[in-house]
Structures are given as C-alpha cells and as structure tokens.
Amino acid sequence: MTEVKEQEQKELEVPAAETAVATPVAEEKAPEAAPAPARRGRERGRRGGERGRGRGGPRSARPERKSEFDQRMINIRRVARVVAGGRRFSFSVSIIIGNKKGKVGVGVGKAGDTTLAIDKAVRNAKKHLITVTLTKDSSIAHDVSAKYCASRVSLAPAHGRGLVAGSSVRPVLELTGITNTIAKVHSGSKNGLNNARAAIEALKTLKA
C-alpha cells in the first residue's frame, strides 16, 4: 500500500514541476518596438527635404533674363603690369553694345579673367550709351564727321545703298540700327577702339 501511495504522489508532482518550468517561459515579454508614427514622421520629413532641394535646384540652373542689348567684341588683349614681385597679367576687352533701335555704346573692361573683363566692359558701355535719331529708312539725316585721337571718320546718308563701312565702324552702325549709310575712315589708324569711338563722336553730332 505504501508503494502505491508513493507512485501516486510522484505522478501528481511531475505535472506540477512541468507547470512551474513552463510558466516563466510563457510570462517572458517581447522587446517593445519603437512607435511607428514617429518613424513615419521622420521619414516623411527627410523625403520632403529631399524633394524641396530637388525642386529649387542650384541658382545657375535658373533661366537668366536676356539682355535687350546685342554686343560685339572689338578686341581682347593680354596686358601686363610690372610690380615689385614681377609682372601681373590681366585681360583688356573692348566691346560695342546696342539695341538696333538707336542706342549704342562703347566700353572697356580689364580683369584677371576674360569673363570678368567682358562683364566690366558691358557695364562701362551701358554707362556711356548714346541715343541716335534715325530717319524713316533707318539712315542718318545729314553728313557728319568727327575725330578721336588719330582716328577720323565721316558718315554720309546713301538711299538704297545699304550699309557701306569697314573696320570697327561697321559694328557700331549695325548695333545702332543704321542702314543706307556710307562710312569712311580717313586716317591710317588701325586702332579699332579709336575708330569705334570716332564713329560714336560723329553720331553725337547728328541733329534731328
């Protein structure tokens, strides 16, 4: 009888031990996950920032407004200045600008880079713009002549002849919008800048 009771007690103790071992495993909790809405908000913020950068783009990609003035380069020279440490080289640019509607100007710019020199020359030409009164056939009203340094230029209207001119006088008249005119350079000067400025001085003497 005692042996039967001992076996019954063992059979009762085994499930109790199993339950004791199984309960802690069942009570283990999984690690808490980060809240989903916060992550989504961060991702949306990052995506929004990337989209914003892409929409704006660099400043150079924006279309630049086209200037009303056309320009022609007379010459570009490399010049040097002697200083204590040696020579400093830079570029000198001469430019003619005009809107082909009666406005024209000549400017000079100098800088260490050709792009900067051109920008300076354009700004200088805009400061020295003149307005020329044209006739109905885009010519000048009467004969004019002028001198600048060693350059001497004369202009005369010529109906139906078109524009007859050479040297740097021709781009000055073209950018002014003048046609049916004959221009002559009476001096032997080959300095394009002086010839262009002589043409500007001649146009200044025109009377409406």
The per-residue pLDDT for range 74-108, each reduced to its tens digit, is: 999 999 999 998 999 999 999 999 999 899 999 99
- Residues 33-67: b if buried by 16+ CB within 10 A, e if exposed: eeeeeeeeeeeeeeeeeeeeeeeeeeeeeeeeeee
> Can you give the pTM of this predicted structure?
0.66
Task: Compute the distance between CA of residue 147 and CA of residue 145 in angstroms, rounded to an integer.
Answer: 7
Any idea which fold 70-130 has? Double Stranded RNA Binding Domain (3.30.160)
Pick from 105, 97, 201: which is nearest to 154 by CA?
201
Q: What is the architecture of the domain spanning 134-204?
A: 2-Layer Sandwich (3.30)
Give the pLDDT confidence score for residue 26 in this predicted structure.
46
Q: Which residues of the chain have pLDDT under 50?
A: 16-27, 52, 54
Kindly list the domain boundaries of the chain, sorted by start residue.
70-130, 134-204
